[in-house]
Amino acid sequence: MTEKEPKILVVEDDASLNDAYKTILLSAGYDTRTAFNGKEALKLAKESQPDIIFLDLRMPVLDGIGFLRAYKPKTDHPDVKIIVFSNYDMQQEVDEAYELGAERYVLKAWASPKELIKIVKDTMANDQE
Partner 1 sequence: MPAVSYISILLVDDDKKEYLSTNRLVKRVTEPKCKLEWCSSFEKAKELIAQHSHDLYMIDYKLGEHSGMDLLRMVEPDKRPEPFILLTDVADRTIERQALKLGASDYLVKGAFDAELLSNSFNYSLGRKQAEAQRFEHLIELNQAKDEFISVASHQLRTPATGVKQYIGMLLDGMFGELTPTQEAVLLKAYDSNERQLRIVSDLLKVARVDAGKVILKEAETDMNKLLAEVASEESEIARKRGQKIKLKPASKPATAWVDKDTIRMVFENLIDNASKYSRRDTTIEVVVRVNKKSVVVKVIDQGVGIEEEDLSKLFEKFSRIHNPLSTQAGGSGLGLYWAKKVVDLHNGKIEVESSPGGGTTFLVHLPRLLYK
Residue 19 CA to residue 34 CA, distance in Å, equals 8
* Shortest Cβ 44–partner 1 spacing (Å): 21
Choosing from 14, 96, 103, 127, the residue that interacts with partner 1 (CB under 8 A) is 14
- The amino acid present at 47, given as its one-letter code, is E
Residue 93's nearest CA partner among 85, 17, 51 is 85
Task: Name the one range near partner 1 by CB under 8 A: 1-9, 20-28, 98-106, 118-126.
Answer: 20-28
With 0-12 / 13-18 / 19 or more C-beta atoms within 10 angstroms meaning exposed / middle / buried, residue 70 is middle
- Can residue 94 be called a binding residue for partner 1 (CB under 8 A)? no
- Can residue 23 be called a binding residue for partner 1 (CB under 8 A)? yes
- Can residue 64 be called a binding residue for partner 1 (CB under 8 A)? no
* Shortest Cβ 93–partner 1 spacing (Å): 11
Phi, psi of 26 (to 5 degrees): -65, -40
Chain centroid to Cα 79, Å, comes to 13
Residues that bind partner 1 (CB under 8 A): 14, 16-17, 20-21, 23-24, 27, 87-89, 108-109, 112-114
